[in-house]
């Protein structure tokens, strides 16, 4: 008997490179989900073309046509719920979501953020990391809660910050890790390895008190202490 399909709806606002990474993993049969629909608040988002090329339903709802955030979010929710998704995946969706929307999908919505949360919430992350002369940067996947970039983080990956980096070169290095960890994060949830229980996370049935790492950067202090 075929197991029930794990349905995902992806929300985007732009290029959709993380969406493409997810599509590629599904096509390669490495990710046991069905992408039911891709929703964008921008009709010209290139990610919409990526979805169409993969024969995925697309939804465009222009937030500028709504008088309030709540009204826009209610319209999104109405469209999303037609697909009865198991998981909402925010993949470069550049809108702050209303509490009602977030609470409707609480425990069923994840986001990827280009920093090692809780450091560097918000925008302009890569430049802020460079301004602070950090040597290690990275990316986080977390559950979405009403407070922006504050939901439980369960998977991270680190990258080195190189002496000649600018914001663009650093962003590209981080994005390469994004394309690896986001499909993996979705896979954990689809395979029921990861469970969200009232804000507490369980991985393989055990409490997850701190994020798992796909890659860690060996720092000078690590080398000196002999840790691995």
pLDDT < 50: residue spans in the chain: 1-2, 227-228
Instruction: Say if residue 159 is in the same domain as residue 226.
Output: yes
pLDDT, residue 48, reads 98
pLDDT, residue 1, reads 34
Q: Has 179 been annotated as catalytic?
A: no
Instruction: Say if residue 130 is in the same domain as residue 219.
Output: yes
- Residue 72 structural domain: 1-105
The percent helix, strand, coil of the chain (3-state, each to 5) is 35, 25, 40
CB 45 within 8 A of CB 12: yes
pLDDT, residue 221, reads 57
pLDDT, residue 2, reads 46
CATH of the domain at 130: 3.40.50.170
Nearest Cα neighbor of 155 from 190, 197, 123, 111 is: 111
pLDDT, residue 127, reads 97
pLDDT, residue 60, reads 98
Instruction: Say if residue 152 is in the same domain as residue 189.
Output: yes
pLDDT, residue 176, reads 97
113, 126, 137, 142: which is the annotated catalytic residue? 113
- pTM of the predicted structure, to 2 decimals: 0.94
pLDDT, residue 199, reads 87
């Amino acid at each position: 008997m075929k197991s029930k399909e794990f349905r995902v709806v992806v929300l985007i606002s732009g290029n959709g490179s993380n969406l493409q990474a997810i599509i590629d993993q599904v096509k390669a049969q490495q990710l046991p989900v069905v992408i039911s629909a891709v929703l964008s608040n921008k009709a010209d988002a290139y990610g919409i073309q990526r979805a169409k090329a993969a024969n995925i339903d697309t939804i465009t709802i222009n937030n500028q046509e709504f008088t309030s955030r709540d009204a826009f979010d209610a319209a999104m929710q109405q469209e999303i719920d037609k697909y009865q998704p198991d998981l909402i995946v925010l993949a470069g969706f550049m809108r702050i979501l209303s509490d009602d929307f977030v609470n409707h999908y609480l425990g069923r919505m994840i986001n990827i953020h280009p920093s090692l949360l809780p450091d560097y919430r918000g925008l302009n992350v890569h430049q802020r990391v460079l301004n602070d002369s950090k040597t290690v940067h990275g990316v986080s996947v977390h559950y979405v809660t009403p407070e922006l970039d504050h939901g439980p983080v369960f998977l991270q990956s680190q990258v080195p910050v190189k002496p000649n980096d600018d914001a663009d070169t650093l962003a590209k290095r981080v994005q390469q890790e994004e394309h690896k960890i986001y499909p993996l994060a979705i896979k954990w949830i689809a395979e029921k390895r990861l469970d969200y229980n009232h804000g507490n996370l369980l991985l393989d049935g055990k409490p997850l008190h701190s994020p798992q790492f796909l890659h860690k950067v060996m720092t000078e202090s690590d080398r000196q202490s002999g840790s691995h």
